A = this chain, B = another copy of it.
């Protein structure tokens, strides 16, 4: 095991290795995608832990020679798959410090700085993105604020729990719980027979309450579109609730329109169902579409049971650019109930870091507060602090705000904006090159730094189905995944197509020229051009 001086040596060496790694990423020295086969690592590592501690020099060496070859380089400039997963030096140092003062952060008292820095940096982020004051810890209502969770999926489930309880409380006013005998149990007295009667009365009462509650919950419906990330449907599955995916069209840029939403809400209401949550997308995964929040917030006014959550996992950080706010319906964003974005995607902060902002954070805490004696504190009892465990599913929480603080201070708002603008510029460079080649079409509007394209049927020989053609093209692109990494999707009214998303901190225009060269060569090969 390592002592303080051992850590000094190992720490310096790790820093040097990371410096070498980033220099090699800049020099394009790694295959972007790991070139290993399933099961490769079990051939390199023993099947049980060593009895005696090993020298750090051996472990350090093994990290480089055994683990790193199985790493796909999300920080490489030619990684343009999925969405970016930015790393910054500042964020890495924050994670190191947080690891060395490790604490589970569930209550304010666990480490006051952990809770307080989170409140402060969330306000910073809200202001950088130009969100409404209603989402600040200093909101006029006194109810606004946020929490940093681990991912957009965790946000979606957590928010759904809050929205469900809010809807159930409203429903319970119309449909009060059944009268039960549970009050008898308190009065039943101390004899064993009386206790048994009381206990069985309690069981019956609980059973009746569960049925009542289950019946109400089974009326709730969550909404999204066919383009909403699967995290919304998964949240509904997790909570055992219904999810309805509304249709969107290519004509509308794959965005949800108000009329579609209103029709669905009315239809469900007409059969006694209760709309409790809409997951609106600000930047869908397949095409970067932004649901029409202007129309959605208008419709939502007529459906008070509906909680409007905006999932801006990827594109939320683009709100840092004033010139993109209109495209993001920033005016309408003032009227939604909650908003979240993943700073760990395009926002320079290491995974995981998903701020969630709410107009009324009490919706979470009234659904999620459980306080046994061993979690009580003087400050918590006095109500003078926020115990963040009460706004989330888990109890413990890492010190994630430190990385936001380090990054925003070191980059400044302008540095943050430059990074986002550079990503979009890179995407435009690629699209410009592709635009000169008529064998390709862009199949979705250019949203943020995402470009979605495919080969056109004009390029297909002998009447080959255009989807089949593009799947062959995709297979070809995958053979070049050491030089360029992309991912695929399927869009309604389009079919199979390919996504390209620059966004690494190292990506520059020259990498877009290199990317276009790979794409063009694969197209040539797919189409049989020599």
Contacts and interface: CB of A to CB of B under 8 A. Distances in A.
A183 interface: no
Given A53-B410, A71-B101, 13 more contacts: A7-B15, A10-B89, A34-B112, A45-B120, A51-B414, A67-B117, A153-B394, A161-B238, A200-B267, A234-B368, A237-B368, A238-B368, A351-B396
A76 B38 CA distance: 43
Interface size grouping (class) on chain A = 35 or more
A11 B2 contact: no
Contact of A352 (B8, B59, B111, B396): B396
A172 interface: no
A286 interface: yes
A237 B370 contact: yes
Given A100-B18, A111-B34, A120-B42, A239 B237 contact: no
Contact of A412 (B12, B49, B237): B49
Interface stretch (A139-147, A209-217, A430-438, A515-523): A209-217
Contact of A394 (B39, B71, B154, B206): B154
A161 B409 CA distance: 41
Contact of A398 (B40, B352, B490): B352
A273 interface: yes
8 contacts: A11-B11, A47-B123, A50-B408, A54-B409, A92-B99, A152-B395, A233-B370, A234-B370
Given A7-B89, A238-B161, A410-B59, A72 B396 contact: no
B89 A413 contact: no
A324 interface: no
Enumerate the 4 nearest inter-chain pairs by beta-carbon distance, A residue then B residue, closest first.
Answer: A214-B218, A70-B113, A11-B15, A41-B116
Given A375-B230, A410-B53, A42 B116 contact: yes
Contacts of A442: none
A150 interface: yes
A268 B285 CA distance: 46
B99 A87 contact: yes
A456 interface: no
A415 interface: yes
In this complex, the member of A38, A138, A414, A487 whose beta carbon has the largest number of chain B beta carbons within 10 angstroms is A38
A90 B2 contact: yes
B49 A124 contact: yes
A372 B234 CA distance: 11
B93 A95 contact: no
Contacts of A104: 74, 82, 85, 151, 344, 351-352
Given A18-B7, A352-B398, A409 B53 contact: yes
B54 A14 contact: no
Interface stretch (A248-256, A325-333, A378-386): A378-386
A301 interface: no
Nearest to A8: B19
A302 interface: no
Interface in A10-36: 10-12, 14-16, 18-19, 21-23, 33-34, 36
Contacts of A365: none
Query: How many copies of this kind of chain does the complex include?
Result: 2
Contacts of A14: 11, 93, 96-97
B410 A116 contact: no
A75 B75 CA distance: 33
B95 A372 contact: no
Given A113-B34, A151-B394, A230 B100 contact: no
In this complex, the member of A42, A96, A488 whose beta carbon has the largest number of chain B beta carbons within 10 angstroms is A96
A104 B84 CA distance: 10
B218 A210 contact: yes
Contacts of A410: 1-2, 53-54, 56, 59
Nearest to A155: B394
Contact of A210 (B73, B231, B242): B242
Given A75-B102, A351-B102, A413 B267 contact: no
A10 B119 CA distance: 26
A52 B414 contact: yes
B374 A488 contact: yes
B219 A240 contact: no
B393 A154 contact: yes
Nearest to A79: B103
Contacts of A113: 34, 41, 66-71
